């Protein structure tokens, strides 16, 4: 990313000059936390939102995917920088600074609801994928997805952050292949793709989907989680071997790689739908999209799509549960057993599956809920990373803060317009 986002001339806290990453291979060894957090940008909610946008509006909302990914780079970088420099997660810092007990509980409640909406999307996505691949009933698919996520979290707790990162990155490769192959087989129209980069809306439905895409792209729990992942990977700023400058620079590479993968895959999902599903009946659901892809591109591409959806659900629900546990610990200063917490957050998703609600509609609406939780995570993140007293010389450059404020204003405005359209019936 452009160096203007951070003042490259500032000296680090611990030495007289800003250290540089010695080499690309050395920096590569530090990559990992952003790739894990980036899985949140490829969860089943993203699939449903982007697939629905492409099927209904063709290339219209390409610009939303691109803009969301650009904003996500800045936001995830700031989150990781906070964790590296302070050695604490965003929920921990907020838990210390929100003095009023009821204010802290209220903030935790909205963050917890956002985490539950995240879990809803991820468990439902995994259940749908198992149903498509093996005919597993949705309720049992939800239970299997939840059980696998518990196993992955226990792996993280017992084997450490690095092992967890490798497993999640392996799933990320499967996700990327599953959702991207179809675009290579049936490439988009260059003129249509270029037209989709022009910001515009068509109707209230396109605004709803834009908010859903942004809620799925800039996810509040990913903001909370990334600071904790960076803290766990590079603990204790006072005693760790590598200087803060090396870690911050490596984090920029980490975030750039993660967001490049996430942005490309999200765009491929929308383009896959725009090319193959536009105007096709029944493609407003994941099941219908799977059937249409199979009919248009063949069973191999459809199977790869379903496998990508399954990997997406398994990986992202693990990261979501990790974020939820960190939110509770940081804001309420309590820890509950991992199994108990996982079972509690599984209940809403399993209830929806059991009652037979439309899984795809539930996924899209869950992403809209996430979009309304963005300001509560984003505004404190920007404010905290701009404080000299907290980050010292690693505080935000004024251009970084300005870019963060612009992103916040855009997201809050879009949500306001969405509310107005919904309640006025415009």
Question: What residues does each domain of the chain span?
Answer: 22-375
Output the pLDDT for position 95. 93
CATH number belonging to the domain at 22-375, selected among 3.40.50.150, 3.40.50.261, 1.20.1740.10, 3.40.50.12780: 1.20.1740.10
Residue 3: band (very low, low, confident or very high) from pLDDT cuts 50, 70, 90: very low
Question: Quick check: 156 and 163 in contact, CB under 8 A?
Answer: yes
Least confident among 157-171, 198-212, 257-271: 157-171
Q: For 128-170, how does the pLDDT look when each residue is reduced to its tens digit (9 = 90+)?
A: 999 999 999 999 999 998 888 888 878 877 887 778 888 888 9
**Position with higher pLDDT, 115 vs 206:** 206
Burial class (CB in 10 A: 0-12, 13-18, 19+), 426: exposed
Local confidence band at 5 (pLDDT 50, 70, 90 cut-offs): very low
Q: How far is 79 from 73, CA to CA, in rounded Å?
A: 10
Instruction: Tell me how far apart the alpha carbons of residues 112 and 134 are, in angstroms, rounded to a whole number.
Output: 32
- Average per-residue pLDDT for the chain: 83
**Residues 122, 127, 129, CA angle at the centre, nearest 5°?**
95
Lowest-pLDDT range, 92-96, 208-212, 262-266, 279-283? 279-283
pLDDT exceeds 60 at position 246 = yes
The pLDDT-based confidence of 217 (bands split at 50, 70, 90) is confident
DSSP string covering 150-182: HHHHHHHHHH-HHHHHHHHHHHHHHHHHHHHHH
Q: Is the pLDDT of residue 30 over 80?
A: no
- Please, what's the largest Cα pairwise distance for the chain? 64
The residue count for the chain: 426
**Does residue 55 register a pLDDT over 50?**
yes
Higher pLDDT, 292 or 367: 292
Pick the closest to residue 51 from 273, 265, 249 (CA basis). Answer: 273
Q: Which residues contact 116 (CB under 8 A, 6 or more apart)?
A: 324, 345, 348
């Amino acid at each position: 990313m452009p160096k203007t986002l951070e003042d490259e001339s500032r000296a680090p806290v611990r030495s007289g000059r800003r250290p540089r990453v010695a080499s690309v291979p050395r920096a590569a060894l530090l990559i990992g936390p952003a790739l894990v957090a980036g899985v949140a940008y490829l969860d089943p909610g993203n699939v449903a939102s982007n697939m629905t946008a492409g099927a209904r509006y063709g290339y219209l909302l390409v610009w939303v995917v691109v803009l969301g990914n650009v904003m996500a780079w800045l936001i995830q970088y700031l989150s990781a920088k906070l964790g590296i420099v302070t050695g604490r997660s965003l929920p921990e810092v907020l838990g210390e600074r929100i003095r009023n007990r009821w204010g802290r509980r209220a903030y935790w409640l909205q963050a917890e609801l956002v985490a539950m909406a995240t879990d809803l999307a991820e468990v439902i996505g995994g259940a749908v994928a198992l149903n498509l691949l093996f005919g597993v009933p949705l309720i049992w698919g939800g239970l299997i997805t939840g059980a696998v996520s518990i196993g992955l979290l226990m792996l993280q707790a017992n084997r450490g952050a690095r092992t967890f990162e490798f497993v999640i990155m392996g799933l990320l490769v499967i996700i990327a292949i599953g959702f991207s192959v179809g675009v290579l087989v049936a490439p988009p129209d260059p003129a249509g793709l270029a037209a989709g980069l022009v910001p515009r809306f068509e109707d209230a439905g396109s605004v709803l989907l834009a908010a859903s895409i942004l809620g799925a792209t800039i996810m509040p729990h990913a903001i909370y989680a990334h600071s904790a992942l960076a803290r766990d990977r590079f603990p204790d700023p006072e005693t760790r071997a590598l200087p803060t400058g090396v870690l911050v620079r490596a984090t920029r590479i980490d975030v750039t790689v993660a967001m490049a993968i996430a942005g490309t895959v999200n765009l491929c999902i929308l383009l896959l739908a725009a090319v193959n599903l536009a105007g096709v009946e029944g493609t407003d659901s994941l099941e219908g999209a799977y059937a249409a892809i199979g009919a248009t591109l063949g069973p191999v591409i459809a199977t790869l799509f379903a496998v990508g959806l399954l990997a997406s659900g398994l990986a992202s629900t693990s990261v979501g549960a990790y974020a939820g546990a960190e939110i509770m610990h940081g804001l309420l200063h309590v820890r509950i057993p991992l199994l108990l917490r996982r079972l509690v957050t599984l209940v809403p998703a399993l209830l929806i599956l059991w009652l037979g609600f439309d899984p795809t509609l539930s996924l899209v609406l869950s992403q809209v809920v996430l979009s309304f939780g963005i300001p509560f995570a984003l505004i404190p993140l920007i404010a905290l990373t701009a404080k000299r007293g907290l980050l010292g010389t690693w505080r935000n450059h004024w251009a970084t803060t300005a870019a963060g404020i612009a992103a916040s204003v855009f997201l809050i405005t879009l949500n306001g317009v969405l509310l107005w359209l919904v309640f006025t019936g415009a």
